[in-house]
Structures are given as C-alpha cells and as structure tokens.
C-alpha cells in the first residue's frame, strides 16, 4: 500500500550541520573530528575533515544523503501539485486500480424464489493497471575544492547543501510539475478529459455559472465525466479546479468561490493555478525522448487544442502518481579528486479512466 512521506525543512547553521553529522558518524569519525562550539572553529575542524580522505568521504556522504534531503523541501521551486500524489510504493512496480460499480436492481417477486435463490449476481468490477514508467537520474559533481571552500566561512557548509539542492532537487520538482501538466494536456487531447463548451460571447458571470453547474453535476452519480465511462461522482472536497494564472486573474475570488458553492477559504484550497495550458517545456525532456519512450513530445497541435481551455475540474483520484524510488548514489573519482552523485527518481505516472474530469472550453478564438 502506498504511504505518504513527511516533509521537512532545514533551518540549521553550518555549525549545527557539522555537529549533526559528527553525532551520527562512525566511531572513527567521532574520535577524529571535534565538536564545533563556535563559528570560529569551523575552519580548524574543516581542516581535519578535508585533510583525511576517509573522513571527507563520510562527511560529504552524510551531507548529501542526510542533510540535503531535509533541505530539499525548502528549495527554490516546489511542485505545487505534490499533494495530488498518492504516496510511496515500497514494493512492486504495478498498481491495480479497481472500480466496483453499483449493484443491479430488480423487482421483488416471490413467485420467482426458486429461480432467484441460487442465481449468481456478480458485482460489476473493472480494473485499470498503472505501471512504473518514469525512471530518471540527476547527476551532480562535487569537487574537493567545493568541500575545502565550505569550511572557509560561517555559511559555507550550508551553501554547499544549497548548491546540491538547487541543482538536483529543484530539477526533480520541476520535472514533477511538468509531468502533471503533461498529463492534463495529453489527457485532454486523448479524449480522457470530457469537454464542456461555453456559449459564444459568454460573460465572466455566465462562465462562473457554468462552473457552478458542472461542480454541482459532479456531486451525483453520472457517467458523463469519465472516459470509461462508469457511474461515478466527485464530492466537492475531492474537486480540484485547474485554471490558467492569467485567466484566473480576471475573476474576483469571491465570485469564483460562490460559483463553486464554497466559502473563500475552502475554495482557495481547491483552486490550483497552472502557468498556462498552451506552452510546454519540450526541450527539458529531449534527452529522455532520445533514449526511450517514457514521454512523447507535446506537439504544437496539442497545445493549439488547449488554447480555448478556461479551466479543468478534476477529481483528485484522476491523478495516479506514485513515488517508487528516490535514492542518492555516489562514486568518488580518485583520479579527478571529485565525487559524482546520482539522484535516482522513479515514479508511476498515470491517470484513472474511472475518475471524473471535465474541461470548460470557450468557442474557438474567444
């Protein structure tokens, strides 16, 4: 079963970081490296660490694998849709999503007891499989000189952590953001997101009215809003409203909240801004597309089809995104006096054919 992982942020000083690494270090490390009591002692203790390859290896490994993971969640960019992920899969690569339809109904007839008594009525069970399909790696090199310089000033060690995070974890967060945007674009173009067209020349008030109608309709069992289709509903607490940043700016928040029958606080928790629906950073994944078929290019035609999308109302269960692996591995290149680190990031990225999703689309050119 998938589980969620708690997030943390790093607020420690370089002195704190060095002492935490020492406290969790090996017996040899603790005996060789003194505690840093004052910031003025950082260069002195740093010389001990930097001057002994075994201690330097242990320090840099602890810095990357322990401290940087805490710092990651306070990176310069965090995926704003991370809460839509379903959790972490420790074992196996395949997720089976099961949907059980509502029971059939028949007229009560006591004259058919013999016929009904032992007749099998099997439940309407459907399933969809989601396989691990995102296996990427983020490389980073830390040179001996980077480590030496980290001990020359009070914030050096923390700055080194920041360097690691900014290069690796922010990149991973950005790619995760792109994956969610990729799913919305591909799902829309593949017919897995139902479309609802607005009337020509619809005013903002009329658009808001359509939002309200769709949000209300999704509360009831219907097969109009999912791609299978099955009878399903989406309670308001599971409804997420994806809206372009610029388009959202023209609406008053109170008006939108009212349109979705929510108070402002609850609505803001449901509103999910996206930069826009009409651009995609294809260059970012060019190397991935060259080596495999994990993702395909987002074409100009697909982006053109998104230009009239005003908002997408989606059940949170539509996104089937799981973390399978998040692990840092390392190798010291003695001939070059540097460490190579590789952040391995594997995911299951898919969407549900049973969950509701509907896009509100304006007439072409409006």
pLDDT at 63: 85
**Maximum Cα–Cα distance across the chain:** 95
For every residue of 59-92, DSSP letters joined together read: HHHHIIIIIHHHHGGGSS---TTGGGS-EE--S-
pLDDT band at 216 (very low <50, low <70, confident <90, very high): very high
Distance in Å from the first CA to the final CA of the chain: 46
pLDDT top residue among 92 and 192: 192
pLDDT at 246 over 60: yes
pLDDT top residue among 216 and 118: 216
Q: Which of 121, 120, 117, 118 is nearest to 103 (CA)?
A: 121
pLDDT at 69: 59
pLDDT at 6: 38
Neighbours of 140 (CB within 10 A): 18
**pLDDT tens for each residue of 277-309:** 999 999 999 999 999 899 999 999 999 999 999
Global pTM reads 0.86
pLDDT at 255: 77
The edge-to-edge listing of strands for the beta sheet with 309-315 is: 194-197, 357-361, 309-315, 239-244, 271-274
Neighbours of 289 (CB within 10 A): 13
Across the range 11-16, mean pLDDT stands at 77
pLDDT at 9: 43
Q: How far apart are CA 313 and CA 242, in angstroms?
A: 6
Neighbours of 353 (CB within 10 A): 17
Across the range 29-43, mean pLDDT stands at 92
Most confident of 246-255, 312-321, 329-338: 312-321
Q: What percent of the chain has pLDDT over 70?
A: 93
pLDDT at 5 over 60: no
DSSP state of 199: P
């Amino acid at each position: 079963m998938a589980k969620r992982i708690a997030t943390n942020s790093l607020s420690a000083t370089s002195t704190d970081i060095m002492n935490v690494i020492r406290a969790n270090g090996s017996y040899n490390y603790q005996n060789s490296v003194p505690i840093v009591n004052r910031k003025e002692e950082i260069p002195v203790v740093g010389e001990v660490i930097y001057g002994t390859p075994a201690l330097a290896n242990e320090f840099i490994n602890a810095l990357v694998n322990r401290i940087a993971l805490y710092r990651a969640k306070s990176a310069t960019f965090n995926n704003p849709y991370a809460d839509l992920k379903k959790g972490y899969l420790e074992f196996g690569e395949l997720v089976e999503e099961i949907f059980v339809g509502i029971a059939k109904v028949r007229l009560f007839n006591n004259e058919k007891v013999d016929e009904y008594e032992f007749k099998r009525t099997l439940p309407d069970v459907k399933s969809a499989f989601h396989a691990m399909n995102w296996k990427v790696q983020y490389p980073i090199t830390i040179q001996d000189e980077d480590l030496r310089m980290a001990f020359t000033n009070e914030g050096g060690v923390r700055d080194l952590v920041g360097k690691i995070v900014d290069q690796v974890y922010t990149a991973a967060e950005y790619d995760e953001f792109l994956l969610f945007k990729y799913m919305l674009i591909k799902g829309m173009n593949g017919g897995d997101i139902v479309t609802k067209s607005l009337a020509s020349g619809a005013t903002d008030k009329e658009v808001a009215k359509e939002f309200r109608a769709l949000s209300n309709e999704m509360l009831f069992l219907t097969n109009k809003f999912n791609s299978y289709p099955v009878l399903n509903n989406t309670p308001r607490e599971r409804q997420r409203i994806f809206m372009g940043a610029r388009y959202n700016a023209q609406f008053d928040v109170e008006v939108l909240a009212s349109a979705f029958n929510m108070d402002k606080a609850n609505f803001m928790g449901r509103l999910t801004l996206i930069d826009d629906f009409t651009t995609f950073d294809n260059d970012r994944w060019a190397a991935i597309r060259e080596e495999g078929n994990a993702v395909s290019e987002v074409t100009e035609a697909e982006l053109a089809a998104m230009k009239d999308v005003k908002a997408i109302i989606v059940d949170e269960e539509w996104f089937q995104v799981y973390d399978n692996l998040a692990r840092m591995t390392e190798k010291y290149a003695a001939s070059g006096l540097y460490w190579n680190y590789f952040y391995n990031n594997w995911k299951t990225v898919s969407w549900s054919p049973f969950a509701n999703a509907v896009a509100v689309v304006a007439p072409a050119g409006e």
